[in-house]
Each structure stands twice: as C-alpha cells, then as structure tokens.
A = this chain, B = another copy of it.
C-alpha cells in the first residue's frame, strides 16, 4: 500500500515511478543479468549461460500482478520472480536455467533492487536541493539588510534580517545535501547468498561481488543482510532532509498567515491552493506537502529502526517491514522536493511587511541599528559556511 488516490496525490511522480512496478522489476532483472555476467567472468558459470540470461533479461515480460499474487506464498516476490526468469531462460536455453540467480538469495536481489531504485531519487534530490540552496542564498543576498522580527516560542524576540533567515534555511539544506552525498557509499550491492557467506562461490565470492557492484554502478560491500547500519544511516539522511524541509515549510506557513504576511510560498496564482468550498482561499499547498512529509518521516523511520533487529542470518518480519516502508519514506523526500522546487522558483519575500511588523516591537528600530554589525557578522558566517559553490552573486 497504498494505491489510495488521496495518498498518492501527495507523492512526487518521479519518486513513485522510481519504486514502481516497471522500475523495480527492471532493477531485479539488472541484478540477475549482472550477476550472471560476473559469475561467468570468474568462471563459475559458462559464458553461454550468462549470455542466455542476459538475453532473457532483455526480452522477458514479467507479469507484475502475478509476482505480487504469487509472492504471498513465500512472503517475497523474489521467489516467483526468479522462477519466472528461470522459466524464460529455460525456454530458449535449457542448460542455462540452473545458472540463473546462482549463489544468490531472495534478499540479495530485493535489497539490491531497492538500492538501485533509491539511487535516481538521491540524484534528483541532490539537484533539487542544490537549486533550492542557490535560490535561497541569492534571496538572502538580496535581502541582506532587510530587518525582520526574530521570533522565539512564537513570540517576538529581537530583530534579525531576512537575509539571515533565508541563509540559515539554505545552510541547513546544504548540510543535508552533503550528508546524503557522504552516505552514498551505502548505495552498495547486496550479495551474500542464503546465509550471507557466498559459500557456494568458494574463494571467488569477493571477486564476483566486486564485479557485480561495478556492473551495477554500486559500491562493493560485505553482505549487509542483517547488519544494515550503513543503509539505515543513508535513510536517516533522507529523513533529516525531510525534516529540514518541514521546518522551513512551517516557518513559511507561519509567515504566510494573513496577520503576519511576510512571505508566501508563491505569488497568488489561479487554481493553485484552491479550496473546494472557499473561492478566496489560497492555501499554502507546497507547505502542506512538506509538512505532511515531515509528519510522516519520524514514524516511518521508527519502523525501519525497529525492523532492523534481524534474527540470525535473515530476519523474520523486520526486514519485510522495512521493504514495505522504504518506498514510503523516500516518498516523503519526494514531497519535500516538490516543496523545495516550488519555493526555489517562487518564494515571495515582503520586506515592507517585515519592517512594519518589526516596528510593533517597542524600540525595535534602535535595537536593529545597535545590532546591525552583529547581524552582518552572523550572515557572513552563514554564507561562508555555505561555501564557494553556492556563493550568491553580488
């Protein structure tokens, strides 16, 4: 689940597609094809078998509905998937059939397929976040000296500048982007065989795994079937990014209140943010996406954490719960990117309203003058931390 349309409307289409039927089956096929080639290169299966398997992978039509239905018998779609591929190979080249999935286990193909599906999402996230960071940094420079009320515990505190507010958001996002980049080696092949030892490959296990990883463009790693910390660390980076976007969306939604009016996620635009009952409404729909995502991320991540307590050499229940949860957690990142793309494009900053709201704080103007040097220093520090790549043009 969920194929529910009310739920799906919050999902970024490219992220839904990334884990959808076509992409996931393609990823499983890519694993089997690369595995056969790698094993042939190491002399574990005949080159002819590898060729037959690669050909079948290119040509086979897998019926996703049947996989889903048959998978219930084994609590895993890998079993019917391997059976279907083997059948396809057997039709053309019977001798190659036993070499399909040789030495591998269900978890190998499923975990690796999840990794392959996550990869383009992270690529997309990197681009979207970088663009949002650049856009926010540019706006920060533009509003470098625009006075604004700093608010703590939802009460007026002291003056800041719009530049500081915007630059902080940029820096937080940039930190998340860098954290994801640092954790990308967790995009690693899973290949361990039935009990994680690759024992049926004798001493050639590591070499096959290295080849397999290279063919799939993934990192090589020891089997991580039951010790999934690197993978989970990467998913945590995903969740933290969602939470950062949620923090920003929360601020923007608060600033968009009619009584505050200092920012809008985008200029009013016909049909966007419409209500089914109130024609005058302009709901902050981008913020709604990011805030719904950030409300979901902690619980989804908790499931992944709880599910990581694997029994012995393969989990009973926890891993299956993780499989069901990863697309949803990554889906929350997709919703967050929709928000980030939107504000990068169209965030509205109303400096006049900021100045007016600040003025309601007694003595605010004098305070702002007094603190101006400090505020400038604070902004410069943030911009420096943002680094060269995202230095706003002046």
Contact = CB atoms under 8 A, between A and B. Distances in A.
Contacts of A20: 3-4
A154 B316 CA distance: 7
Given A5-B67, A328-B1, A280 B362 contact: yes
A330 to B, nearest CB: 8
A116 interface: no
Contacts of A292: 75, 307, 317-318, 320-321, 324
A291 B316 contact: yes
Nearest to A242: B305
- Size range of the interface on A? 35 or more
Interface string A77-119: 1110010000000000000000001011110011001100100
A272 to B, nearest CB: 5
B377 A203 contact: yes
A199 interface: yes
A366 B136 CA distance: 41
Nearest to A259: B259
A212 interface: no
Given A75-B289, A194-B277, A258-B361, 5 more contacts: A2-B324, A3-B327, A4-B117, A201-B374, A295-B303
A202 interface: yes
A391 interface: no
B113 A277 contact: no
Interface string A1-41: 11111111111010110011100110000000000000000
A284 to B, nearest CB: 6
B227 A157 contact: no
B68 A375 contact: no
A176 B117 CA distance: 26
Given A151-B312, A309-B246, A74 B302 contact: no
Contact of A313 (B157, B260, B320): B157
A17 B154 CA distance: 32
Sort A-B residue pairs by CB-CB distance and give the 3 closest, nearest first. A291-B317, A199-B374, A9-B71
Contacts of A371: 197, 199-200
Contact of A276 (B82, B230, B381): B82
Interface stretch (A45-53, A138-146, A164-172): A164-172
Contacts of A201: 374
A179 interface: yes
A7 B194 contact: no
A2 B328 contact: yes
Given A199-B375, A323-B6, A357-B259, A278 B194 contact: yes
Among A154, A233, A282, A321, residue most surrounded by chain B Cβ atoms (within 10 Å): A154
Contacts of A307: 292, 295-296
Contacts of A297: 305
21 contacts: A4-B24, A5-B24, A5-B64, A7-B324, A9-B72, A75-B285, A151-B313, A152-B275, A157-B278, A160-B197, A202-B377, A203-B376, A205-B378, A243-B305, A251-B311, A254-B312, A257-B257, A258-B357, A287-B317, A288-B317, A301-B305
